[in-house]
Chain A
């Protein structure tokens, strides 16, 4: 086991030998190593969030034709550290009438629910935390704990708006879990196991090629589960004034903030693991540390895509959001699962190219059919456009053609 090719297992091995030579029992050594690994991953993830916040602000600034933070350090790198120092010293304001235990438990549980996903993700062929054989369901179950955190925040705050925001948030989260869980059946079908290690190992060709519609549905549901734009009406300032976060100040609010950004990156990592092949890539057999590099590159690409969607697309209304989920995404997910199961059973696994071709054709047909049905529905029930007469303008020559048409 070479140190350069495979650093983490080498270090674990060396540490195990060292501790065993001190005469400690084997169970104790295993538990101690688990403890050290857990602390390193949790601290690393939380400190990495500062870089994520900086990246989001810089890239968001560029999308919006401005610079983003650039004063504190070169390219504003230390901005997040400055923000952290500030937020550590802000006062905790505890409003009257709050329930102490739920109020204080909610931010901790929100961050814990996001960190707990990092325990099952395989970072490379030899570096993974826990290889339970139900990894996919574990990730979704931990999302349920995150919903509990939102409910605790909502009713612990003794505030009508927090309660209302919490209910809406939980309604959104549970609604978008349904297509996500349905669509995750497809990687499980292809790889024959629910464990994330087996799913990555079965992806010599990434699953995005086998099931693009499933991939898109999963991506949309991940963004909705996270509460990012375009699904972020819960935080819209004009709607519910920061939703369930209203009464939080200081580091408690900072924890919700960290949970939000870390959840985005965690969704990107889960997406990469399940659909993009995780650590697979050329040369990982000989040099396992390349797996970690491939994973990082793929995850950053997916994260950049999430940022691009956030800064480009306007926000949904809540009834539009619910209609999208229950009337479009859930039937689409069910149809995709059934059709993929049929087609995959009809073609033997050895004929890879024919299998990929058939699955791609079938996915394309599903997508075009769904598009057609939505277009027909829109033609029959057009959106009511509220127009009035055109008001007198100072410079009418700047009005676009479309606006002139709708105004008359």
Chain B
């Protein structure tokens, strides 16, 4: 088992190293002529107005919250799914209860309008 993780670790390091090496090679091959107009921030061809900060909609945060709860729920269901072939009908009843309780949470979010993109 540890050999598998060793392979994954080596693979991740190589997967990070090869694009980094490509970027460095291109950095050496390309010209470097910075000037203030080229380096200014892009805002549809105009000068920038205001600091670079946007009014952050709280809707993003609500989507993140709902995603987090569902993510944890599904991760709890994966061991159940691996043991699915060995459990009797009782296990399926458990699944139905679990999913029903969480689906009612989704229904609550739906009715409260938390899923609308304002």
Contacts and interface: CB of A to CB of B under 8 A. Distances in A.
Interface stretch (A71-79, A300-308, A335-343): A335-343
Grouping DSSP codes into helix (H, G, I), strand (E, B) and loop, the A interface class, with mixed when no group exceeds half, is helix
B6 A116 contact: no
B70 A108 contact: no
B20 A163 contact: no
A88 B25 contact: yes
Contacts of A255: 19, 22-23
B39 interface: yes
Interface in B22-38: 22-23, 25-27, 29-34, 36, 38
B7 A34 contact: yes
B82 A88 contact: no
A350 interface: no
A107 B15 contact: no
A341 B84 CA distance: 8
Nearest to B87: A345
Contacts, number: 214
Interface in A138-164: 138, 158-161, 163-164
Interface string A29-66: 01100110111011100100000000000000000000
A189 B81 contact: yes
Interface residues of B, number: 71
Contact of B81 (A160, A185, A252): A185
B115 A322 contact: yes
B12 A116 contact: yes
B7 A334 contact: no
A393 interface: no
A225 interface: no
Interface stretch (A89-97, A286-294, A371-379): A89-97
Interface of A: 30-31, 34-35, 37-39, 41-43, 46, 87-97, 104, 107-109, 111-112, 115-116, 118-120, 129-133, 137-138, 158-161, 163-164, 167, 170-171, 174-175, 177-178, 181-182, 185, 188-189, 192-194, 241, 246-247, 250-252, 255, 318-319, 322-323, 326-327, 330-331, 334, 337-338, 341-342, 345
Query: Can you list the 7 inter-chain pairs with the closest CB atoms, starting with the nearest?
Result: A251-B26, A115-B15, A319-B117, A112-B15, A119-B11, A188-B81, A38-B14
19 contacts: A91-B32, A93-B34, A107-B19, A133-B1, A138-B8, A158-B41, A163-B52, A174-B67, A178-B70, A181-B71, A185-B78, A188-B84, A241-B44, A247-B42, A319-B117, A334-B99, A334-B103, A338-B96, A342-B92
